Structure 1
Amino acid sequence: MEEQQFISSSYMLRPSLLMHAEEIMQREDFSPGTIYALSGLVFQRVPISPKRSPVFHQLLLIAVLPSESQPVKSLQNNLEALLSHYEVSVEKEEQGEEHRVWLSSRELHNFGQITCVPFPRSELQHGKSSILTLLLNLDHLATLIFSIPDWRLLWTSDPRFLASFEPGSQVPAPFQPFSLYPPSYTHDVSFWMEPDTFDELDFHEAVRVATWGAVRDIQLVDRFRHPHMGHASLCYRLAYQSPDRALSRTRVLELQNQLRTLLPLRLNITLR
């Protein structure tokens, strides 16, 4: 996971709950052998995609456990058993006494991470101990378990979706799409930009803001670099499709026009 923090004059977006690990370990009630859990929202800069979300719910587990119990191997085996039906792969990495395990699916690389390092205060105890942490993208895990094709559905207020996850109901069945053929529209946007200052992730963020999350996917279809003037022309193809409602052609045109109005204001570009 990218460990970047995004700071403005009034707020900071955390990229990982791991930044709270030291705070947890300094609590008065923190004791070896007990697993502490923390969950909350984290943020990341990612391109628009039905598989990767800019904000998601993350789970952090942290504990100090005896090294001889092989906590990484035990946790890894349990997770592999639980996720064996969802084509989750495991990648191991060892650097000295630090052990790391990455969990990946076909749709998302490294959506989970297990880390184990020596506990620095082990000399005060009998035997060696290790600090074990688990980070898990809960939103992606939900899309795997319930076969949800688009992460945007996890943020919908549509009662048809929410009814499948009401408290007290039985284990939900795999998600059934509301429509097998939801309307989809494609529109292109082309502009001149300066290669040294253009940030593609800023462009994706502007698309999210202008279209209210109605764009499912973006592809770069053409790029031209002027041989003498230095600036370049880009053409992106936007796929408009909502996961929980039918978009009309008129509404999509309104969103596309909003995007064309916003882009020159937020980015150093000239529309074509």
Structure 2
Amino acid sequence: MRLHQIPVSLLLPPSPSSSFSPRPPLYRCCLAALSSNHRTASHRRLSTDSHAPRPVIGQDSVEVLGGSYPRDDFTNVTSKILAKVGRNLHNQSHHPLWLIKERIKAHFYRSYMGRWGNPLFSVHDNLSPVVSVEQNFDSLLIPPDHASRKKGDNYYLNRNTMLRAHTSAHQRELVRSGLDAFLLAGDVYRRDQIDSSHYPVFHQMEGVRLFSNHELFSKVQNGEELSLFERGGRRTPHKQEAHTLEAVKLVEFDLKQTLTALIAHLFGEDLEVRWVDCYFPFTHPSFEMEVRFHGDWMEVLGCGVMEQELLNSAGAGNKAGWAFGLGLERLAMVLFGIPDIRLFWSEDERFLRQFRVSDIQQPVCFQPLSKYPPLHNDISFWLPEREDGGESFTENDFYELVRSIGGDLVEKVSLVDDFTNPKTRRRSQCYRIIYRHMERTLTQQEVRLVHEQIERSAESELGVEGRY
């Protein structure tokens, strides 16, 4: 299973149900690390709410959020994607993503208080999405050859800098700053397929809680005799080599209790929950949380006991803790009944006004806008051949080309035929592109102009040979 599809906060796997599959939770794909690069470090804390110049992709550099990043052979971010940077839907008052974020914040603020009566969990929802590759992958123990690093799955500004693929890219720096309990929310970016539940920009929220030896065992009988760590331990399916079994079980209990309370707050008390064992490079043991919703089991988040190596590298080697991650779009689509992920980017007042409630806990049931008819066109082509006999074409490259040209006019792209000529061994594919505007009726004439541009660009940029 690819990392960006494994269940957890980045642990972000697909599918709340068999038919719904927004990204994996934020923990599943979570990756965090503090870059030593001065430009990235200084830019890391730049508020994305500031009035920074418009992003620009120049011949030699990419300008975004006040930073300039030299282009190289890894640069693949597009102007349409950069135009989303700084929109911060999760911070727009009464936007559906904001509502979900605020409900989660309110629950943690009300349920978990610090020693002096202040909220235990701090909230960080305005960190720059421009991060180093080291932050996004290395700090989370993602191997150098892991599939999740592929250029085809991420948006790179250059070989060393990218748009974060998960909010966990900031996890280590927040722990290093001395925080023991925090929530983190933000926009994340991934190249992916095109349908009603996938979009190249989406939003995640994750939580981290660390415990000292005293905090974890203070309520346990003879707790002063217990320890977080053991020497000479071994890794098993239930624990890391550094942890005692008693510590892991208490951390796991606190994690599951915390998340069960959160989901009950969001979905209602009468909810059936189950935990599924899974694997993530940055937690062990790791779990996916599933709930029975409308008769189907739906995965809602990923979580686990944090790898001690991560805490050691962040200067918190005397503590143990848990982390979780979830997708805000996934929850909003389910809880509010929003059928298409593109709607979150709509500025149509008929959509936005439905979420202007006086109380953030007030139930909201999305009322569909007029359903405009879809138009579909097919595109067929021979895939390019390499001299070594391999193929240089990837589906994500084609999806990205369609997004760059068709934008939000495109509702879905699906592969409808994959054929290999038995004599020449040449391979061809046929994709069906469904066009539908969210706010008006499209004409076949305007769709045809877009479709023809996609056909021409596929030949010139991807090296395919059209079959028209």
TM-score by length of 1: 0.83
Aligned residues of 1:193 and 1:232 also touching (Cα < 8 A): yes
- Give the alignment's Cα RMSD to 1 decimal: 3.2
Q: Which residue of 2 aligns with 1:99?
A: 285
Deviation at 1:108, TM superposition (A): 11
Residues in 2 aligned to 1:245 and 1:153: alpha-carbon distance in whole angstroms: 13
Letter of the structure 1 residue corresponding to residue 395 of structure 2: E
* Paired residue secondary structure (1:93): strand
Residues in 2 aligned to 1:41 and 1:241: alpha-carbon distance in whole angstroms: 25
1:63 maps onto 2:209 in alignment = yes
Q: Which segments of 5 or more consecutive residues in structure 1 lack a partner in the other structure?
A: none
Aligned residues of 1:153 and 1:244 also touching (Cα < 8 A): no
1:154 maps onto 2:349 in alignment = no
* Paired residue secondary structure (1:160): helix
1:191 maps onto 2:368 in alignment = no
1:82 maps onto 2:268 in alignment = no
Q: Which residue of 2 aligns with 1:112?
A: 301
Larger % of strand: which? 1
* Paired residue secondary structure (2:445): helix
Residues in 1 aligned to 2:391 and 2:317: alpha-carbon distance in whole angstroms: 54
* Paired residue secondary structure (1:175): coil
Q: Which segments of 5 or more consecutive residues in structure 2 lack a partner in the other structure?
A: 5-28, 30-147, 217-246, 385-389
Q: Which residue of 1 aligns with 2:329?
A: 139
1:234 maps onto 2:429 in alignment = yes
Aligned residues of 1:52 and 1:108 also touching (Cα < 8 A): no
Residues in 2 aligned to 1:164 and 1:88: alpha-carbon distance in whole angstroms: 29
Aligned residues of 1:115 and 1:132 also touching (Cα < 8 A): yes
Aligned residues of 2:336 and 2:365 also touching (Cα < 8 A): yes
1:222 maps onto 2:417 in alignment = yes
Q: Which residue of 2 aligns with 1:9?
A: 158
* Paired residue secondary structure (1:142): helix
Deviation at 1:45, TM superposition (A): 2.4
Deviations 1:22-62 (A, max 9, x none): 1111104x2x4xx2122111112221010122211111211
Q: Which residue of 2 aligns with 1:27?
A: 177
Letter of the structure 2 residue corresponding to residue 48 of structure 1: I
Residues in 2 aligned to 1:71 and 1:256: alpha-carbon distance in whole angstroms: 53
Residues in 2 aligned to 1:87 and 1:252: alpha-carbon distance in whole angstroms: 45
Which of these residues, 29, 36, 44, is aligned with residue 190 of structure 2?
44
Residues in 2 aligned to 1:187 and 1:87: alpha-carbon distance in whole angstroms: 43
Letter of the structure 1 residue corresponding to residue 277 of structure 2: E
Equivalent residues, number: 263
Per the alignment, do residues 264 and 90 of structure 1 end up closer, same or farther by CA in structure 2, a change over 3 Å counting? farther
Aligned residues of 1:211 and 1:258 also touching (Cα < 8 A): no
* Paired residue secondary structure (2:399): helix
Residues in 2 aligned to 1:216 and 1:192: alpha-carbon distance in whole angstroms: 24
Aligned residues of 1:100 and 1:114 also touching (Cα < 8 A): yes
Q: Which residue of 1 aligns with 2:458?
A: 263
Aligned residues of 2:267 and 2:335 also touching (Cα < 8 A): no
* Paired residue secondary structure (1:203): helix
Per the alignment, do residues 256 and 118 of structure 1 end up closer, same or farther by CA in structure 2, a change over 3 Å counting? closer
Per the alignment, do residues 230 and 52 of structure 1 end up closer, same or farther by CA in structure 2, a change over 3 Å counting? same
Per the alignment, do residues 89 and 186 of structure 1 end up closer, same or farther by CA in structure 2, a change over 3 Å counting? farther
Letter of the structure 2 residue corresponding to residue 252 of structure 1: V
* Paired residue secondary structure (1:82): helix
Letter of the structure 2 residue corresponding to residue 102 of structure 1: E
1:201 maps onto 2:396 in alignment = yes
Deviation at 1:99, TM superposition (A): 2.6
Q: Which residue of 1 aligns with 2:255?
A: 72
TM-score by length of 2: 0.50
* Paired residue secondary structure (1:36): strand
Aligned residues of 1:193 and 1:231 also touching (Cα < 8 A): yes
* Paired residue secondary structure (1:213): helix
* Paired residue secondary structure (1:208): helix
* Paired residue secondary structure (2:158): coil
Per the alignment, do residues 264 and 19 of structure 1 end up closer, same or farther by CA in structure 2, a change over 3 Å counting? same
Deviation at 1:140, TM superposition (A): 1.4
Deviation at 1:110, TM superposition (A): 5.3
Aligned residues of 1:215 and 1:239 also touching (Cα < 8 A): yes
* Paired residue secondary structure (2:382): strand
Letter of the structure 2 residue corresponding to residue 140 of structure 1: R
Residues in 1 aligned to 2:162 and 2:286: alpha-carbon distance in whole angstroms: 27
Letter of the structure 1 residue corresponding to residue 276 of structure 2: K
Residues in 1 aligned to 2:307 and 2:340: alpha-carbon distance in whole angstroms: 39
Residues in 2 aligned to 1:88 and 1:268: alpha-carbon distance in whole angstroms: 50
Relative contact order, higher structure (CA 8 A, sep 6+): 2
Residues in 1 aligned to 2:198 and 2:383: alpha-carbon distance in whole angstroms: 26
